[in-house]
Chains A and B, each alone.
Chain A
Protein backbone atom coordinates (compact mmCIF):
# COMPACT_ATOMS: atom_id res chain seq x y z
CA UNK A 1 0.00 0.00 0.00
CA UNK A 2 1.34 3.42 -0.93
CA UNK A 3 -0.55 5.31 1.77
CA UNK A 4 -0.76 8.99 0.85
CA UNK A 5 0.97 10.05 -2.36
CA UNK A 6 1.56 13.57 -3.66
CA UNK A 7 2.65 14.91 -7.02
CA UNK A 8 4.70 16.76 -8.02
CA UNK A 9 7.55 16.76 -5.51
CA UNK A 10 8.82 20.15 -6.62
CA UNK A 11 7.42 22.94 -8.75
CA UNK A 12 8.38 26.48 -9.65
CA UNK A 13 5.56 28.81 -10.74
CA UNK A 14 5.52 32.34 -12.04
CA UNK A 15 3.27 34.90 -10.38
CA UNK A 16 -0.26 34.58 -11.71
CA UNK A 17 0.09 31.03 -13.00
CA UNK A 18 -2.20 28.29 -11.81
CA UNK A 19 -1.56 24.69 -10.87
CA UNK A 20 -3.06 21.69 -9.12
CA UNK A 21 -1.29 19.72 -6.44
CA UNK A 22 -2.40 16.13 -6.54
CA UNK A 23 -3.07 13.95 -3.51
CA UNK A 24 -4.20 10.33 -3.62
CA UNK A 25 -4.74 7.80 -0.86
CA UNK A 26 -5.26 4.05 -0.92
CA UNK A 27 -6.23 3.76 2.75
CA UNK A 28 -9.97 4.32 2.25
CA UNK A 29 -9.95 7.02 4.92
CA UNK A 30 -12.78 9.51 4.99
CA UNK A 31 -10.84 12.50 6.29
CA UNK A 32 -8.30 14.28 4.13
CA UNK A 33 -6.37 17.49 4.73
CA UNK A 34 -4.11 20.00 3.06
CA UNK A 35 -1.50 21.80 5.14
CA UNK A 36 1.18 24.28 4.33
CA UNK A 37 4.44 24.35 6.22
CA UNK A 38 6.48 27.52 6.48
CA UNK A 39 9.79 27.77 8.35
CA UNK A 40 9.27 28.31 12.07
CA UNK A 41 5.50 28.26 11.70
CA UNK A 42 4.55 24.62 11.99
CA UNK A 43 1.70 23.35 9.84
CA UNK A 44 -1.34 25.41 8.98
CA UNK A 45 -4.53 23.77 7.77
CA UNK A 46 -5.70 25.05 4.38
CA UNK A 47 -8.74 22.85 3.63
CA UNK A 48 -10.10 19.56 4.79
CA UNK A 49 -12.70 17.04 3.71
CA UNK A 50 -14.75 14.61 5.80
CA UNK A 51 -15.75 12.52 2.84
CA UNK A 52 -16.44 12.50 -0.88
CA UNK A 53 -18.39 15.60 -1.90
CA UNK A 54 -17.75 17.48 1.35
CA UNK A 55 -15.02 20.08 1.85
CA UNK A 56 -14.48 22.88 4.33
CA UNK A 57 -12.07 25.71 4.99
CA UNK A 58 -9.26 25.46 7.47
CA UNK A 59 -7.17 28.18 9.03
CA UNK A 60 -5.58 29.64 5.85
CA UNK A 61 -7.85 28.94 2.83
CA UNK A 62 -7.42 32.19 0.87
CA UNK A 63 -5.95 31.68 -2.58
CA UNK A 64 -6.74 27.96 -2.69
CA UNK A 65 -9.56 25.67 -3.74
CA UNK A 66 -10.18 21.96 -3.31
CA UNK A 67 -12.53 19.29 -4.54
CA UNK A 68 -13.32 15.77 -3.34
CA UNK A 69 -15.14 13.86 -6.04
CA UNK A 70 -13.86 10.48 -4.83
CA UNK A 71 -12.65 9.02 -1.54
CA UNK A 72 -9.20 8.55 -3.01
CA UNK A 73 -8.39 11.98 -4.47
CA UNK A 74 -8.17 15.40 -2.88
CA UNK A 75 -6.51 17.90 -5.26
CA UNK A 76 -5.51 21.41 -4.17
CA UNK A 77 -5.85 24.18 -6.75
CA UNK A 78 -3.92 27.46 -6.84
CA UNK A 79 -5.61 29.79 -9.32
CA UNK A 80 -3.38 32.88 -9.28
CA UNK A 81 -0.07 32.00 -7.71
CA UNK A 82 1.51 34.62 -5.45
CA UNK A 83 4.94 34.69 -3.76
CA UNK A 84 3.19 34.30 -0.41
CA UNK A 85 2.19 30.81 -1.51
CA UNK A 86 5.79 29.66 -1.62
CA UNK A 87 5.76 26.83 0.88
CA UNK A 88 5.87 23.09 1.38
CA UNK A 89 2.44 21.53 1.04
CA UNK A 90 1.43 18.33 2.79
CA UNK A 91 -1.60 16.20 2.20
CA UNK A 92 -2.77 13.96 5.02
CA UNK A 93 -5.62 11.63 5.85
CA UNK A 94 -7.26 10.15 8.91
CA UNK A 95 -9.74 7.41 9.55
CA UNK A 96 -12.96 7.66 11.50
CA UNK A 97 -12.07 5.04 14.07
CA UNK A 98 -11.50 7.70 16.69
CA UNK A 99 -7.74 7.43 16.78
CA UNK A 100 -7.32 10.85 15.16
CA UNK A 101 -3.91 9.81 13.86
CA UNK A 102 -3.09 11.58 10.63
CA UNK A 103 -0.98 9.98 7.91
CA UNK A 104 1.08 12.35 5.80
CA UNK A 105 2.27 12.35 2.24
CA UNK A 106 5.88 13.27 1.37
CA UNK A 107 5.05 16.86 0.48
CA UNK A 108 5.28 19.20 -2.49
CA UNK A 109 7.79 22.05 -2.40
CA UNK A 110 6.35 25.00 -4.32
CA UNK A 111 8.21 28.18 -5.20
CA UNK A 112 6.43 31.17 -6.74
CA UNK A 113 8.70 33.72 -8.40
Chain B
Protein backbone atom coordinates (compact mmCIF):
# COMPACT_ATOMS: atom_id res chain seq x y z
CA UNK B 1 0.00 0.00 0.00
CA UNK B 2 1.13 3.53 -0.73
CA UNK B 3 2.36 5.45 2.28
CA UNK B 4 4.38 8.51 3.17
CA UNK B 5 6.36 8.85 6.37
CA UNK B 6 7.73 12.03 7.84
CA UNK B 7 9.67 10.77 10.85
CA UNK B 8 10.03 14.14 12.56
CA UNK B 9 6.87 15.62 14.03
CA UNK B 10 8.57 18.80 15.22
CA UNK B 11 11.98 20.31 14.48
CA UNK B 12 13.55 23.42 15.99
CA UNK B 13 16.46 25.17 14.32
CA UNK B 14 18.20 28.46 14.90
CA UNK B 15 17.85 31.22 12.36
CA UNK B 16 20.68 30.96 9.86
CA UNK B 17 21.24 27.26 10.49
CA UNK B 18 20.76 24.62 7.85
CA UNK B 19 17.62 22.50 7.66
CA UNK B 20 16.78 19.01 6.48
CA UNK B 21 13.30 17.54 6.69
CA UNK B 22 12.95 13.85 6.02
CA UNK B 23 10.42 12.08 3.86
CA UNK B 24 10.25 8.38 3.05
CA UNK B 25 7.66 6.73 0.88
CA UNK B 26 6.38 3.32 -0.04
CA UNK B 27 5.01 3.00 -3.54
CA UNK B 28 4.72 0.42 -6.31
CA UNK B 29 6.72 2.50 -8.75
CA UNK B 30 8.53 5.80 -8.68
CA UNK B 31 5.77 8.26 -7.96
CA UNK B 32 5.59 11.98 -8.39
CA UNK B 33 6.99 13.66 -5.27
CA UNK B 34 6.06 16.98 -3.74
CA UNK B 35 6.78 19.22 -0.78
CA UNK B 36 4.14 21.65 0.41
CA UNK B 37 4.33 24.31 3.10
CA UNK B 38 1.45 25.44 5.29
CA UNK B 39 1.63 28.67 7.25
CA UNK B 40 -0.70 29.02 10.25
CA UNK B 41 -4.32 29.42 9.20
CA UNK B 42 -3.49 29.01 5.53
CA UNK B 43 -3.86 26.38 2.86
CA UNK B 44 -0.96 24.42 1.46
CA UNK B 45 1.46 25.96 -1.03
CA UNK B 46 3.70 23.96 -3.34
CA UNK B 47 7.42 24.35 -2.62
CA UNK B 48 8.81 21.96 -5.23
CA UNK B 49 8.11 18.76 -7.11
CA UNK B 50 9.95 15.88 -8.73
CA UNK B 51 8.69 13.96 -11.73
CA UNK B 52 11.81 12.71 -13.49
CA UNK B 53 15.31 13.73 -14.55
CA UNK B 54 17.75 15.49 -12.25
CA UNK B 55 17.25 14.09 -8.77
CA UNK B 56 18.08 17.41 -7.11
CA UNK B 57 15.21 19.82 -7.58
CA UNK B 58 15.06 23.47 -6.73
CA UNK B 59 11.97 25.13 -5.36
CA UNK B 60 10.72 28.44 -4.16
CA UNK B 61 12.01 30.32 -1.11
CA UNK B 62 15.49 28.79 -1.43
CA UNK B 63 14.40 25.20 -0.75
CA UNK B 64 15.70 22.15 -2.56
CA UNK B 65 15.03 18.43 -2.32
CA UNK B 66 16.87 15.34 -3.41
CA UNK B 67 15.23 12.17 -4.66
CA UNK B 68 17.09 9.00 -3.68
CA UNK B 69 15.51 5.97 -5.32
CA UNK B 70 17.60 3.46 -3.37
CA UNK B 71 16.39 4.91 -0.08
CA UNK B 72 12.83 5.77 -1.20
CA UNK B 73 13.45 9.22 0.19
CA UNK B 74 12.79 12.78 -0.85
CA UNK B 75 14.33 15.02 1.81
CA UNK B 76 13.85 18.76 1.86
CA UNK B 77 16.79 21.06 2.56
CA UNK B 78 17.59 24.69 3.01
CA UNK B 79 21.12 26.02 3.65
CA UNK B 80 20.11 28.91 5.88
CA UNK B 81 16.73 29.12 7.59
CA UNK B 82 14.88 32.42 8.01
CA UNK B 83 12.37 33.17 10.75
CA UNK B 84 9.65 33.36 8.08
CA UNK B 85 10.23 29.68 7.28
CA UNK B 86 8.47 28.66 10.48
CA UNK B 87 5.51 26.61 9.26
CA UNK B 88 4.35 23.05 8.77
CA UNK B 89 5.81 21.08 5.90
CA UNK B 90 4.13 18.21 4.13
CA UNK B 91 5.63 15.64 1.83
CA UNK B 92 3.25 14.14 -0.72
CA UNK B 93 3.49 11.35 -3.28
CA UNK B 94 1.23 10.20 -6.05
CA UNK B 95 1.13 8.57 -9.44
CA UNK B 96 -1.78 10.52 -10.84
CA UNK B 97 -4.25 13.23 -9.98
CA UNK B 98 -6.51 10.83 -8.09
CA UNK B 99 -3.93 9.23 -5.88
CA UNK B 100 -2.06 11.79 -3.79
CA UNK B 101 -0.94 10.73 -0.34
CA UNK B 102 0.28 13.21 2.23
CA UNK B 103 2.61 12.68 5.14
CA UNK B 104 1.58 13.68 8.65
CA UNK B 105 3.68 16.84 8.45
CA UNK B 106 6.71 18.29 10.22
CA UNK B 107 6.30 21.46 12.21
CA UNK B 108 9.31 23.76 11.97
CA UNK B 109 10.12 26.25 14.71
CA UNK B 110 12.85 28.82 14.10
CA UNK B 111 14.72 30.22 17.10
CA UNK B 112 16.05 33.77 16.88
Contacts and interface: CB of A to CB of B under 8 A. Distances in A.
Interface residues of B, number: 23
Interface in A51-106: 56, 90, 92, 94, 96, 99-106
Contacts, number: 57
Contacts of A102: 44, 46, 100
Given A42-B103, A42-B105, A101-B34, A96 B44 contact: no
Contacts of B34: 100-101
Contact of A31 (B4, B90, B97, B104): B97
B43 A90 contact: yes
Q: Which 8 A-B pairs have the closest CB atoms?
A: A104-B43, A42-B102, A43-B102, A42-B104, A104-B44, A31-B97, A106-B43, A94-B97
Interface string B13-57: 000000000000000000010101000011111100101000000
Contact of B44 (A40, A48, A56, A90): A90
A99 B88 CA distance: 23
Interface of A: 4, 31, 33, 35, 40-45, 48, 50, 56, 90, 92, 94, 96, 99-107
A38 B96 CA distance: 24
Contacts of A35: 102
Given A41-B104, A42-B103, A100-B96, 19 more contacts: A31-B97, A31-B98, A33-B100, A40-B105, A42-B104, A43-B44, A44-B102, A45-B100, A99-B49, A100-B34, A100-B94, A100-B97, A100-B100, A103-B46, A104-B36, A104-B43, A104-B45, A106-B41, A106-B42
B9 interface: yes
B6 to A, nearest CB: 8
Contacts of B43: 4, 90, 92, 104-107
Contacts of A43: 44, 90, 102
